[in-house]
Structures are given as structure tokens and as C-alpha cells.
Amino acid sequence: MTQYYELYRSSTIGTALMDALDELISEGLLTPQLAMRVLAQFDKSISEALTSKVKSRMTFKGNLRTYRLCDEVWTFIIKKPSFKLENEEFTTDKIKIVACNTNKPGNK
């Protein structure tokens, strides 16, 4: 069985899903084991949807402040990044980028 990263659980939709599952568990309508299966399916579905459905490209540049690699997960902190997405450009003070290796042995 392929393992998927749990990165998107902290997104708006991921936290809404976890809140709903917590409520169903507390009301006795769902077992914790089933909730974990739902979250595992969410991890898989969101990863596959982003891989196959998103076609937009964005470029960015900025000052690399910090980077690290731990357990095949890269984390980058970039100061003063500027982003270009199709006809839009915007900037911010800093951004954290987390990138995971999807080419693990056993992945298709």
C-alpha cells in the first residue's frame, strides 16, 4: 500500500474535514478507525487531484533564507518572494515551501 503525505490536512479543506470527523466521533456516529481511513483517503485523493487536474504554472524568485532536508522532505524559507502567475504578479514578506519526494520505491 502506498503511503501519502499528510501535508494537505493543515489546509482549509483539510482542517474542515478533521473538524467534521471529530464532531462525528464525539457524537458517536463514527469510529476513530473509520475517521483515520477517511483521512488516508483524503491524503490520497488530494494528492492525485493536484497531480492530474492542476495545469497552472507559477514562477517565483526571492532570497533563500533557510533550507533543510529531512526524511525526503525539503523545507525552504524564502524572504521577499515575488510570484508570477499567468497575468498576475504579487509579493509577500516570506513564504515557507514544503516539497516531498513522490518517487519513492514502490510508487507508480
58-100: CATH number? 2.30.18.10
Nearest alpha carbon to residue 17 among 25, 9, 28: 9
> Per-domain residue ranges for the chain?
7-53, 58-100
The number of C-alpha atoms within 13 Å of 79 and in the hemisphere containing its C-beta is 4
Count the residues in the chain: 108
How far apart, in Å, are the Cα atoms of 53 and each of 6, 28, 30, 33, 66? 19, 36, 31, 30, 31
Q: What is the residue-level pLDDT of the chain in tens, covering all 108 positions?
A: 567 888 889 899 999 999 999 999 999 999 999 999 999 999 999 988 988 998 888 999 999 999 999 988 899 999 999 999 888 999 999 999 998 876 655 544
Query: What pLDDT is recorded for position 86?
Result: 84
* CATH code 2.30.31.70 for 7-53: no
Q: What is the pTM of this model?
A: 0.68
